[in-house]
Amino acid sequence: MTLSNPEPVGEGEPGGTDLAAESAAVAATARAPWYLRLPVVSHLRRSVGLQRGMLVAGVVIVAVLLLSAVAAPLIAPYGFAQTAADGTPFGTQQPPSAAHPLGTTVTGFDVLSRVIWGTRTAVAVMACAVVASLFLGVALGLLSGYVGGWLDRVLVMLADAIYAFPSLLLAIVMSIVISGGQSDAWGGILAAALSITVVFVPQYFRVIRAEVVRLKAEPFVEAAKVIGTGHRRVMGTHLLRNATRTLPLIFTLNASEAILTLAALGFLGFGIEPTSASEWGYDLNRAMADATSGIWWTGLFPGAAIALAVLGVTLVGESVNDLNDPRLRTRRRRRSERKVSA
């Protein structure tokens, strides 16, 4: 029996078109300037259709969140705990007006100012918690997967035990231990950040450990060991760079979870004192009694701020994950394929 060699994929066939488009995209990315190869910028250039719309919407929401946090003293009409201006009290539960576009709360705070200043607290908790859990989880997962043995078994057992603990309950316990349940701005931020860090370290640990266990048996790692490369260089250069490609989605999901955890602490009364910092969860808690009286503005806008912040971060994470996965990425079709053949 004579076996014929497989025919190469032709340029006019769908497989050849996809391969050519993928090769052209990779070559164009490699030749692009450094600022066009940044994570979100490069994903925007490669996205099309619905993926681009989701990514753009998420980037816009996150950009507004960050700008509001940075420029809160400039764009907020009043301070987060201010109840009077020029010696005149604001009044309580006042509806939206020219002086107070989003109305006032039961304690006389300006709702718009509280929402804007609340972005600072949310961004601070999100940054502290996610960055700390990222570094700890990646370092422990890299060490556990590479070393193995009894250290790996102990770390896996601890990660499973921590992962089984309810995150909100742990946040409440940490808040009580650190600040007694009520604290100033940095005390509340630290309590929420530490609780979220402890809860989400196992997620990064599991992902990195699984990737390291798989990669350390690859030929390029074995070749590096054969030529005498040290363990530190193998872990930091060959394993770390290839094991962190799946982290963007977890990173963004944890960022949104940090915002929700902080809001839950404030809503349950274990958050930050209102005179120390603005926090959306506390404002929602104070607005519960207003809802039965038809006063909708005190709870609507803090709740909308929480929802938009979580939505923006999640959209960015989901879009980046789709674009990093070739199975989910939408490819650009060539113009010739959109033409109707005669």
Instruction: Tell me the pTM.
Output: 0.77
Mean pLDDT, all residues of the chain: 77
At 84, give phi and psi (nearest 5°).
-155, 155
156 SS3 class: helix
Instruction: Give me the pLDDT at residue 117, please.
Output: 92
Q: Which of 126-135, 189-198, 289-298 has the lowest mean pLDDT?
A: 189-198
Higher pLDDT, 232 or 117: 117
The secondary structure of residue 328, as a DSSP letter, is: T
Number of neighbours of residue 132 by Cβ within 10 angstroms = 17
- What would the pLDDT profile of 150-169 be if each residue is shown by its tens digit? 888 998 888 888 877 777 78
Higher pLDDT, 246 or 286: 286
Q: Which of 14-28, 177-191, 237-251, 260-274 has the lowest mean pLDDT?
A: 14-28
Higher pLDDT, 5 or 88: 88
Structural tokens at position 256? 């949104």
pLDDT at 336 over 60: no
All domains of the chain in start order, with CATH:
99-311 (1.10.3720.10)
pLDDT at 337 over 50: no
329: left (phi over 0), alpha (psi -120 to 50) or beta: beta
Instruction: Give me the pLDDT at residue 37, please.
Output: 62
CA–CA dist 72, 126 (Å, integer): 17
